[in-house]
A and B are shown apart, each in its own frame.
Chain A
Amino acid sequence: MGEKTINYIKLPGSGYRSAGSPFVRFALFFVIGFFVLLLRGKRVQLYLGNDHLLVLDTDGYVEEYKRFYWRDIQGFTLRRTVEGKIINLVFGAPFILFSALALSSRDNAAVFLFGIIATVCLIFLIINIVQGPTCDVELFTAVQAEKMPSLGRVKVAKKVLARLQPIINEAQGELKPEEMVPDNPAESVPFEVSQAKFSSSTPVVETYQSKVHSILSWVALADVPGTCLTVFLGQELLRAYSLLHIVALIILSIIALNKQRYTTLPVGLKRLPVVILSGVVICFITSFVLGIYFAFADQEAVATMRENTLGAPWQVVLTVISTAINGFAGLYGVVQLKKYKQSLVEVVPPPLVAADSPVNPDQSI
């Protein structure tokens, strides 16, 4: 029963099998910092065996193996994602911001600090651009669909799949023409590369029934009257309200992102929590950076800002922008959710019958 040790060849690519939305982890970065890297999950790598593909999950101390034999692999799907673009934005925006601050600052220490931060952001940005667009790849067999987190970049995924294709085709042999005939030719639709026609397939997704998006929309919309009121009611109230509102938006956005997965919610509404969360994060980062800048560059301005939350012009601009983003996003969410819920309800009104209409003779006793 002894067999030779299998020699595995490592395939390009490496990823992490993590549970939960990447947006949640991104949001948590602002709460627990770099410790969010501990939530990445197990590292996944692919290896080429003699008669199978080995998927290796490891946390550094235990390795777990899954084998997919060539004869069992039915196919792969590759779907491009927006994560790469988001990462570009996450590093690109701070790079532009800190570069501008470094160039406009008169203090050497501030120039040095902002320059370092801008350089670090630039390095990560270049790495992300060089790696190329991101994607999701899944492997299909007759009984399962397995995600391939290590093939998270289109370049790497296509390289690996190009390597696997001839091996799998050789192992499975050529398909005979009679094997391609569907069981029900009348129901199936042959599809060409550029003209895909689909037979009606029952989606696995569920109807969206949660109220989180509705609450989020109203809370975002409430920012407009809330900010207007607290501006006149006092600085302390304004600060407390702003803080509570930001926390509420972040929490509701994260919950909404999780609730909307695999639901029939329209794409526009699915993007709503992303827009709100992005607005909050960008405004928070901008105010943080500008606060640091003024702490180095203009001490008097800092004192003024402490006394009056809307004392500086940039604070006013930032407040107006964030309130506008929340207001428009909230309004959009409220209107679109109403339309969506109306589209779900199929009401067939009963036929109107007049009080003195003749009785149907067939129904008479």
Chain B
Amino acid sequence: MVGMLKCPKCQVGLGEFTVVGEAAAFCPHCLKEITIFAFPALYRKLPASAVQAGEAAIEGDSTCFFHPQKKAAIPCDGCGRFLCTLCDIEFSGQHLCSTCLETGVRKKSIQNLEKSRKLEARRAFLLGLIPLFVTGPIAVFLAIRAWKSPGSMVSHKRWYAPVGLTLGVIQTIFLIIFIIARFAK
């Protein structure tokens, strides 16, 4: 199938074309000029044998842990279990079984599978900056919880948590002094 891209505004197909690299096109609907950057993947079909069912095992062959009737093709890089071609999940240069992949997602040990992260250290820092007394204890709590958390995947500022904790402690001290002074009267 030759390449088919769409206009970003109208979502109308820009027609089939055969060019790799930068090119110009006109949307047939809004008549706007569109610059296209096409890559070889636009034209490549998936090979017919991309997903294989797995070769049947004969006597003496090592078999897949999950499919005893299939021949083992590769060991899992996570747990070492033998896997057939169907069970093998190639991901980020590793061959993993579905269990290890699921474990990696749950324990966040495979960075490339993480879909989101909470920036609790940043929250602690921002709450520590806001002098509303009640934000102090909350900042302390968040800073302690976020102390060992991985933080942002792209730009983790390690000083967020300690600074947030310090500011939170200062606010909490003032809060306590305020309460004592209030009740002392």
Contacts and interface: CB of A to CB of B under 8 A. Distances in A.
Interface in B63-99: 77-78, 92-94, 96
B43 A77 contact: no
Contacts of B116: 62-65
A169 B154 contact: no
A365 interface: no
A151 B182 CA distance: 55
Contact of B123 (A52, A61, A71): A61
Contacts of B132: none
A175 B40 contact: yes
B111 A189 contact: no
Contacts, number: 202
Given A65-B114, A137-B8, A203-B10, A75 B28 contact: no
Interface residues of B, number: 70
A41 B18 CA distance: 37
B83 to A, nearest CB: 14
Contact of B8 (A63, A64, A138): A138
Interface stretch (B31-39, B52-60, B162-170, B172-180): B31-39
Which 8 A-B pairs have CB atoms at the shortest separation, nearest pair first?
A: A198-B15, A201-B13, A74-B42, A182-B2, A175-B40, A188-B16, A1-B78, A78-B35
A145 B43 contact: no
A205 interface: yes
A63 B40 contact: no
Contacts of B117: 62-63, 65
B5 A203 contact: no
A183 B118 contact: no
Interface string A36-79: 00000000010100011010101011111101000111111111
Interface of A: 1-3, 5-6, 8, 10, 45, 47, 51-52, 54, 56, 58, 60-65, 67, 71-81, 136-138, 140-142, 145, 147, 161, 165, 168-169, 172-175, 179-180, 182-183, 187-191, 193-194, 196-199, 201-205, 262, 264, 267
B16 A1 contact: no
19 contacts: A8-B154, A52-B112, A62-B119, A74-B3, A74-B5, A74-B41, A75-B3, A75-B5, A79-B8, A136-B9, A175-B44, A179-B40, A193-B23, A193-B24, A198-B14, A203-B29, A204-B6, A204-B12, A267-B30
